[in-house]
Chains A and B, each alone.
Chain A
Amino acid sequence: MYPNMFSAEQSCWFVRKVICWRAVASIAWAVLLLPSITAVFVILSRFSLLHPIQTVSECLSFLTSASAIFSFILLCGVIIMVGFLNLEYYTVVPTIACSKIALLGQLLHPRQFVNSLAHCIMGIIVAWCCAITIGGRFETIGYPCTQGDGTDSSPQMCLNEYHLILLLAGAFVGLSHSLLGVIYNMNYVSFHTVQQYKYLRFKGSLPLLVKCSATQALYSVRNYIVVYLFLGYVPKAWICKTLNLHLNSSVHPLDSIAGLLDLNLLYQLWISASFLLLTWHITLLLFRIFVTEVYSFPVQSSFTEDAHQCLPKVLTDKQPMILKFLALQDLALLSQHSPSRRCEVFSLSQPGGHPHNWNAMSKECLSLLADLTQRLITYHDTVATNGRAKSLSTGSERKTSSETSDDPMSPRPTLLMRTPASVFARSIVGSPQSPLTAPFTPDLGSPFASPALRRLTAPADPCSPWFGTVQSPHIMRRAPKLWSTSTDSQGNGSPLASPASVPSPKQEASKPSLLAQFLQNRKDQVKHFLAKRVLIMYLFNKLPEASSQALFADSQAHIWALEGLSYLVQASFSEDQFGVVQTALPSILSSMLVLQEAVDRHFKLPHASSKPVRSASSMGDSTHKTLRFALRATLKTAIYRITTTFGNHLNAVQMSAEHRKRLQQFLENKE
């Protein structure tokens, strides 16, 4: 989604007509909320316990002054800028760094650098406005002072360090906000299972938002104080030099412990940082709420020029991602709540009598599920066979590859969603580097060896209708790999899409020459050599939790696909007059069962945690960490929904013996 942001997305009607307007609305609301937040900030920053009435009158007189209005306009500009950055940087599929080095790369990516710089500058601007608001000793950067011992008192301009420390605090908080945003995936926009009206959702999350901003401000100010204590002299000297200011030696310098132990100063720093973060967080929250609002697509349109805006067409679009997600969300909701729209889904086309709507939707959902299944199998395969390449005989490989090459190639659904890790690898580190990380995949041991997988991917009844959708040449072509290419090989999209471009295992298998052997040994040596270096290991080691998260990063789409399919199938029991769903029932059941098996297998991997980790409440959305659990639960519920609706009628559905056995478990409530 990064590289073609401008080219592909701007041209899409949906982004132009809906997303942009939603973003504008969210920014407008953020600007409208700004006066009240600013007023609260003014009162809090100028409050003095001993003179409450004086405080109020001072605040009122300040709020009507010209400088206040000017700084308010600046703040509005900052909010608009933040809103624009939100729109520019948001993503519905989180970018999850699978290793420390990947995270580092993310932080140093030029695009991220621009973001950090912008936040830094905006932080300074907000801090300047805060300085104006607080007034008193913070107000100006220079002040007239008399240097020397009073004898040669020539009026000079001296540096007001209080002003400087506030400005730098703004810059620091802005920078840390931007960097933490990368680490905690703050640009990730998640969708909620509980639908609420925008106002109620905003009201509900406001207390948490205030708490988050205050605590984050506290930590940022703490870190800033430490940094300023040690490095504060650098910006001080630089500012003095460029602005031709002097340091007043009679005033205590602030980059010392005594200077920083000023409660009022700390309070002002904290309240300013909280104000800054609160306004930004509110903008972000409003953006999230507006963008994830349900959009109702028409199921079918009577005008051909609107056909591209209808649900069946929109579902199959690959870009922009937000459109696909909203379409899937709409599908899940309509299948659940709206009988009239379901009726349109089950309807037949007028001339011809084909269930085009249902076919397009079910095909898209099934291909999504098949895509996930394949991804899981590949991942499991790399993890399970990692480091076991030599123990397997080459003969069997040759056999498999020759067998499969004769197969008629079924059209493999192109990968619609790339794993974020791969997106990242392409755009940031660059593809030549991705094999570099591979040798350091930890050997996780392989109690789940390939025989078990063979069963999973064994070519079942070739005449069964799901044969073409799930079995892809790629799966059958699997050969023991030397090292893990992890999800990257899968996710790169284009190279694997055509069967011709998977020659490596085949060639290797057919020519177990001395040269290959030699290269093999070299590689092992290099790998062993590098593996001994602790720092490299630390940087390159894959985080098992993260790679599991990355695997399921876009699973919200799969969850909706599962919900949509299962609710539609359930409704079809009584609502489907023409029996259009019946024809797809075997393939739906099979793909769900295959996915169920793959998901089960994934959760049995030694490193996969079986329960979600409790995450502390922060502004970063942690939904992506629990997506795989949600997917597992949704999948099971979806199968049960179908089995409890149809009951023993399912025995009449044609499917392989193994799937029937599996389905029987569900029918007997034993899963």
Chain B
Amino acid sequence: MCSLALFPPPLPSGQTTLCESNNELLSGGSGTDDRLKQESSPLSLYFPRESLKLHCRAESSSKAAFLDHSETLWMRSAAAWRDGGFTGLLDEITNSNTEVPTWLSVSSGFTLALLRWFSSFHGSLFPHLTMSSEDMLAEFSQVLNWSDCVVRAFAWHPHADKFAVALLDDSIKIYNPKSATTPTLKHRLQRSVAAVQWKPLCASALAVACQNCLLVWHVDPCSLSTRPSSGCAQVLSHPGHSPVTSIAWSPSGSLLVSASPMDTAMMVWDVAAESCVPLQRVGGGGVTFLSWSPDGSHVLASTPSALFRIWETRMWTCERWPCVKGRCQSGCWSPDGSRLLFTVQGETLIYALTFTDAPAGVPTCTSKGPQAAAVVADLSETTFTTPDGNIIIGGEIQSLAWDPTGERLAVLLKGDLQAADRPAIIAVFKTRTNPIFELLPCGFVQGELGAEARLMQFHPNFQHGALLTVCWSSGRITHMPFYFLSAGVPHFGLGGSPSLPRPQERPADFANQSLFTELLS
């Protein structure tokens, strides 16, 4: 079952995908006026790499810039304790063996060796523990090639038309088409941003996952200030809980969960009170990715090993899901929270888990789910012939995104960075969740020449269908509308019916061919 074979072939190079209308993806050349139209859209942004002021040195390397110092042993020990903790102290004592008694240096050297042996043993169980925190962020981030990406995180506001962009220089910018000011958020502790997310049911709060802590910014939407002071940010930190790779707000806006690959506990924060409850379970060696279901009833928490958990949020119990091959790389929930799609590292498949609502009156067994995950799509490598030669598309999956109406599913394929004919590309599926789950091909989303998709997110409340925002490797952010009439979600009569091109029934050969339906499986 190879799903990509049914897709329309990718565009020739130089063409970019613009939008979906009348059931097909429209494209435009790079030089045409379509291109200009996109450029003029107020929310399309471009961050050239050169414009960012990067700090090229790490914090610890500043030591070398200063003259050699002759501090006393006590001072150095205290500094080592402060900087490197217990191992740093032992290291310092072992190294300064001319000043300390022999027995002390020997015993500390022995303890250090023992500790290292033990930690290497521990590290062999969980190899990710030996990584540096930057590498860890790059490994577990949802962004493709995170360490080299200009746009490191992106988040639409769930209610208002604004979004936050975290850039390579550790600043966050907030764009709002209705306001002239673009606040830039900078904080001493805001380094290596792995994820940002707006608090639901709140206009101002933005949670930021940083290297050492969590920040919750309160950016007053009416304020005219372009540089909110760091006093507007709440710092949430817990010893041992860093780097933070993933965060998720509860859809009701009351709780925030955060995950760190170094910490086996998942933190549930009450942000207003700055208090947290660690939820600890044995196994996994950390938590890497979190996703809260839109109805608020479940949280997906994947670990660095071949295991993920699904927490039920009423009483915070979890069920374990061991995977066969690798860790759970990404996952997304259907809008009603009844279905979870996820991908596993090292595999090219998309799996689905279905949760049925517990019957009313039996509150405790809400976490009883299915017994096994079903394969819904196979994205193994497929060769397409284009005017420019053969292109191989498929392979491992970096991230998944499902639009809020539940009708489009975007899949970011990793590709191969080195090989030119294996680009990272976004494959979009049409999906249907009611009455049965169906998956149909839609097409590939491509950017301008030389730009690869790095990160994508759907707009949370686009009126006329779905709006996919893609951040490209070139530093460009574009928005791709998919115009369709949503069948499942009732419109509350707020926006009226969409006045945009209506999809007509134009059966195309490939588009009508279903890739997966629940009836087949």
Which residues of A does B touch, CB under 8 Å?
Answer: 192-197, 200, 204, 336-340, 563, 611-612, 614, 623, 626-627, 629-630, 632-634, 636-637, 640-641, 644, 647-649, 668-671
Query: How does the 8 Å CB contact mask read for B234-271 relative to A, with 1 for contact and 0 for none?
Result: 10000000000000000011110000000000001011
* Cβ contacts under 8 Å, A337 to chain B: 314, 363
User: In the complex, what distance in Å separates the CA atom of A193 from the CA atom of B279?
Assistant: 14
Q: List 7 A-B contacts (CB under 8 A).
A: A193-B270, A200-B317, A630-B272, A632-B272, A634-B272, A637-B202, A640-B201
CB of B275 within 8 Å of the partner chain: yes
Q: Is the interface of A mostly helix, strand, loop or mixed?
A: helix
Beyond contacts A337-B314, A648-B494: 19 other A-B pairs, Cβ-Cβ < 8 A, are A192-B277, A193-B254, A193-B255, A196-B277, A197-B317, A339-B360, A340-B360, A340-B361, A614-B274, A623-B275, A633-B271, A636-B202, A637-B253, A640-B159, A640-B202, A647-B494, A649-B492, A670-B221, A671-B221
* Cβ contacts under 8 Å, B203 to chain A: 640, 669-671
Shortest B502–chain A CB gap in Å is 24
Shortest A626–chain B CB gap in Å is 4
Which residues of B does A touch, CB under 8 Å?
Answer: 157, 159-160, 201-204, 221-222, 234, 252-255, 268, 270-275, 277-280, 314-317, 360-361, 363, 492, 494
Shortest A616–chain B CB gap in Å is 13
Across the A-B interface, the 10 shortest Cβ-Cβ residue pairs: A626-B273, A633-B272, A669-B160, A640-B201, A340-B360, A669-B203, A630-B272, A629-B272, A637-B201, A194-B277
Residue contact A195 to B272, C-beta cutoff 8 Å: no
User: In the complex, what distance in Å separates the CA atom of A338 from the CA atom of B494?
Assistant: 28
Shortest A283–chain B CB gap in Å is 22
Residue contact B272 to A194, C-beta cutoff 8 Å: no
* Cβ contacts under 8 Å, B201 to chain A: 636-637, 640-641, 644
* Cβ contacts under 8 Å, A641 to chain B: 201, 252-253
* Known contacts A633-B272, A637-B252; is-contact A669 B221 (Cβ 8 Å): yes
- Measured CB to CB, the nearest residue on chain B to A192 is B277
Residue contact A204 to B253, C-beta cutoff 8 Å: no
User: In the complex, what distance in Å separates the CA atom of A634 from the CA atom of B273?
Assistant: 11
* Choice from B253, B270, B316, B494 contacting A196 with Cβ under 8 Å: B316
User: In the complex, what distance in Å separates the CA atom of A567 from the CA atom of B254?
Assistant: 12
User: In the complex, what distance in Å separates the CA atom of A434 from the CA atom of B70?
Assistant: 62
* Cβ contacts under 8 Å, A614 to chain B: 274
Residue contact B268 to A194, C-beta cutoff 8 Å: yes
* Cβ contacts under 8 Å, A204 to chain B: 277-280
Q: Is the interface of B mostly helix, strand, loop or mixed?
A: loop
* Cβ contacts under 8 Å, B494 to chain A: 647-648
- Measured CB to CB, the nearest residue on chain B to A294 is B315
Shortest B221–chain A CB gap in Å is 5
* Cβ contacts under 8 Å, B160 to chain A: 668-669
Residue contact A612 to B316, C-beta cutoff 8 Å: no
- Measured CB to CB, the nearest residue on chain B to A567 is B252
User: In the complex, what distance in Å separates the CA atom of A585 from the CA atom of B425?
Assistant: 49
* Cβ contacts under 8 Å, A339 to chain B: 360
Residue contact A194 to B316, C-beta cutoff 8 Å: yes
Shortest A518–chain B CB gap in Å is 49
Shortest B402–chain A CB gap in Å is 21
* Cβ contacts under 8 Å, A194 to chain B: 255, 268, 270, 277, 316
* Cβ contacts under 8 Å, A634 to chain B: 254, 272
* Cβ contacts under 8 Å, B272 to chain A: 612, 626, 629-630, 632-634
* Choice from A612, A636, A644, A671 contacting B273 with Cβ under 8 Å: A612
Shortest B336–chain A CB gap in Å is 13
**Residue of B221, B222, B270, B273 with highest tally of chain A CB at under 10 A:** B273
User: In the complex, what distance in Å separates the CA atom of A630 from the CA atom of B234?
Assistant: 14
Shortest A635–chain B CB gap in Å is 10
**Residue of A200, A627, A649 with highest tally of chain B CB at under 10 A:** A200
- Measured CB to CB, the nearest residue on chain A to B357 is A339
Shortest A92–chain B CB gap in Å is 17
* Cβ contacts under 8 Å, A648 to chain B: 494
* Cβ contacts under 8 Å, A647 to chain B: 492, 494
- Measured CB to CB, the nearest residue on chain B to A622 is B275
Residue contact A669 to B157, C-beta cutoff 8 Å: yes
Residue contact A626 to B275, C-beta cutoff 8 Å: yes
User: In the complex, what distance in Å separates the CA atom of A475 from the CA atom of B271?
Assistant: 34
Residue contact A336 to B252, C-beta cutoff 8 Å: yes
* Cβ contacts under 8 Å, A671 to chain B: 203-204, 221
* Cβ contacts under 8 Å, B221 to chain A: 669-671
* Choice from B159, B270, B273, B274 contacting A669 with Cβ under 8 Å: B159
- Measured CB to CB, the nearest residue on chain B to A574 is B490
Shortest A361–chain B CB gap in Å is 20
User: In the complex, what distance in Å separates the CA atom of A117 from the CA atom of B252?
Assistant: 48
Shortest B131–chain A CB gap in Å is 26
- Measured CB to CB, the nearest residue on chain B to A340 is B360
Shortest B291–chain A CB gap in Å is 18
- Measured CB to CB, the nearest residue on chain B to A613 is B274
* Choice from B273, B317, B361 contacting A629 with Cβ under 8 Å: B273
* Cβ contacts under 8 Å, A668 to chain B: 160
User: In the complex, what distance in Å separates the CA atom of A200 from the CA atom of B361?
Assistant: 23
Residue contact B316 to A200, C-beta cutoff 8 Å: yes
- Measured CB to CB, the nearest residue on chain A to B268 is A194
- Measured CB to CB, the nearest residue on chain A to B360 is A340
Residue contact B363 to A612, C-beta cutoff 8 Å: no
User: In the complex, what distance in Å separates the CA atom of A636 from the CA atom of B278?
Assistant: 26
Shortest A610–chain B CB gap in Å is 8
User: In the complex, what distance in Å separates the CA atom of A633 from the CA atom of B202?
Assistant: 9
User: In the complex, what distance in Å separates the CA atom of A632 from the CA atom of B234?
Assistant: 15
User: In the complex, what distance in Å separates the CA atom of A200 from the CA atom of B281?
Assistant: 10
- Measured CB to CB, the nearest residue on chain B to A626 is B273
Shortest B203–chain A CB gap in Å is 4
User: In the complex, what distance in Å separates the CA atom of A339 from the CA atom of B360?
Assistant: 8
* Cβ contacts under 8 Å, A200 to chain B: 316-317
- Measured CB to CB, the nearest residue on chain B to A631 is B272
* Known contacts A197-B317, A204-B280, A637-B202; is-contact A626 B274 (Cβ 8 Å): yes
User: In the complex, what distance in Å separates the CA atom of A629 from the CA atom of B361?
Assistant: 34
Residue contact A670 to B270, C-beta cutoff 8 Å: no
User: In the complex, what distance in Å separates the CA atom of A640 from the CA atom of B254?
Assistant: 12
Residue contact B363 to A637, C-beta cutoff 8 Å: no
* Cβ contacts under 8 Å, A192 to chain B: 277
Shortest B222–chain A CB gap in Å is 6
User: In the complex, what distance in Å separates the CA atom of A648 from the CA atom of B492?
Assistant: 10
Shortest A37–chain B CB gap in Å is 22
User: In the complex, what distance in Å separates the CA atom of A141 from the CA atom of B363?
Assistant: 59
User: In the complex, what distance in Å separates the CA atom of A338 from the CA atom of B277?
Assistant: 24
Residue contact B316 to A644, C-beta cutoff 8 Å: no
* Cβ contacts under 8 Å, A627 to chain B: 273
User: In the complex, what distance in Å separates the CA atom of A574 from the CA atom of B234?
Assistant: 36
User: In the complex, what distance in Å separates the CA atom of A670 from the CA atom of B179?
Assistant: 11
* Known contacts A195-B314, A637-B254; is-contact A630 B270 (Cβ 8 Å): yes
* Cβ contacts under 8 Å, A632 to chain B: 272
User: In the complex, what distance in Å separates the CA atom of A340 from the CA atom of B359?
Assistant: 10
Shortest B358–chain A CB gap in Å is 11
Residue contact B274 to A612, C-beta cutoff 8 Å: yes
Residue contact A611 to B255, C-beta cutoff 8 Å: no
- Measured CB to CB, the nearest residue on chain A to B317 is A197
* Cβ contacts under 8 Å, A626 to chain B: 272-275
Shortest A209–chain B CB gap in Å is 14
User: In the complex, what distance in Å separates the CA atom of A194 from the CA atom of B279?
Assistant: 10
- Measured CB to CB, the nearest residue on chain A to B316 is A196
User: In the complex, what distance in Å separates the CA atom of A612 from the CA atom of B222?
Assistant: 24
* Cβ contacts under 8 Å, B270 to chain A: 193-194, 630
Shortest A206–chain B CB gap in Å is 11
* Cβ contacts under 8 Å, A623 to chain B: 273, 275
* Cβ contacts under 8 Å, B363 to chain A: 337-338
User: In the complex, what distance in Å separates the CA atom of A512 from the CA atom of B280?
Assistant: 69
Shortest B469–chain A CB gap in Å is 19
Residue contact B255 to A644, C-beta cutoff 8 Å: no
- Measured CB to CB, the nearest residue on chain A to B233 is A611
User: In the complex, what distance in Å separates the CA atom of A200 from the CA atom of B282?
Assistant: 13
* Cβ contacts under 8 Å, A611 to chain B: 234
- Measured CB to CB, the nearest residue on chain B to A627 is B273
